[in-house]
Amino acid sequence: MRYFSLLFSALAVLLLTSCDPTPPAQQQTSEPADTVKSTEKLLSVEKQAKPATDGRDVGKAYKLFQQGVGEMKEKKYEAAVSTFLLALESDPENPKIFYNLGSCYYSLKEYSLALSYFGDAVRFNPSDTSSMIYTGMIHYAQGRIGESIVSYTKAIEINDQLYMAWYNRGTSYGRLEKYDEAIHDFTAALTINPSHGNSYMNRGLAYFYKGETDLACKDWQKAASMGVTVANDALREHCK
């Protein structure tokens, strides 16, 4: 049973291609985006060579922002923090700067500061689902499961095609032993992303805890076929 508690206790990972939950840097664009990716609510940003009339210097902020993104890509998070703070002085209401500051502090494991900056990002961009999801992850990791559910729910209400929000909320419900709700959310995640093996694994766990072993075994078989190695342990111990 040890692997069950480990899976429901582990910090949910959002990125399919990596086990590193480091938030990706948000990019700043000079043209309005007609469409946006599910994990990035990009805002239109105007590049200006001269300071704005309200005291902002968006051109300077843009250059610093790009420098900070480069430092993040090199995992120079402390340097990136300094750069983004300088950018914030020139453009103090830019939500993507706040988001990237939150991302840096998240990577540095300074979670209180990360929460603060993710909160600022949402304050200036109420549609920033990325900040909401990472806020939920921090709450989850620190044992505030109910608050994590609130954060994931806000993201889902804005964009119900975010499989990672459904998956993470399902994991939170699993921690609270609300298995019907967990099954619902893992199923929603799989409807959006049928190749997400961890959703099959964790839905199987929820079925198992409900006493529905046949359904659990089917999900674990699917998870195992997708490379979720812990599913093989569950199959050996509980499935014939």
Q: In this prediction, what percent of the chain has a pLDDT beyond 70?
A: 77
Taking the model in full, what pTM does it have? Answer: 0.80
**Structure tokens belonging to residue 68:** 């900070």
d(CA 60, CA 48): 8
User: Are the C-beta atoms of 84 and 65 separated by less than 8 Å?
Assistant: yes
Domain ranges of the chain: 22-159, 161-240
Cα–Cα distance between 200 and 179 in angstroms, integer? 14
Is-same-fold flag (22-159; 161-240)?
yes
pLDDT truncated to tens, each residue of the chain (240 aa)?
A: 444 444 544 433 332 222 234 565 555 533 222 222 322 333 333 333 344 445 678 889 999 999 999 999 999 999 999 999 999 999 999 999 999 999 999 999 999 999 999 999 999 999 999 999 999 999 999 999 999 999 999 999 999 999 999 999 999 999 999 999 999 999 999 999 999 999 999 999 999 999 999 999 999 999 999 999 999 999 999 998
Looking at residue 17, its pLDDT comes to 24
Q: For residue 55, what is the DSSP state?
A: S
- Tens of pLDDT, residue by residue over 165-192, are 999 999 999 999 999 999 999 999 999 9
Whole-number pLDDT of residue 56? 74
Given this model, what pLDDT does residue 24 score?
A: 57
For the chain, first and last CA: distance in Å? Answer: 17
Helix (H, G, I), strand (E, B) or coil at 138: helix
**Spatial separation of the C-alpha atoms in residues 150 and 128, rounded to whole Å:** 15
8 closest CA partner among 180, 238, 176? 176
Range 212-232 burial, b when 16+ CB lie within 10 A, else e: beebbbbbbbbbbebebebbe
* Cβ neighbours of residue 237 closer than 8 Å, sequence gap 6 or more: none
What is the structure's pLDDT at 55? 62
Per the CATH hierarchy, to which homologous superfamily does domain 161-240 belong? Tetratricopeptide repeat domain (1.25.40.10)
Helices (H) and strands (E) in the chain, counts: 12, 0
169, 162, 27, 167: which is closest to 103 by C-alpha? Answer: 27
Q: Which class does domain 22-159 fall in?
A: mainly alpha
Tokens of 230: 């812990």
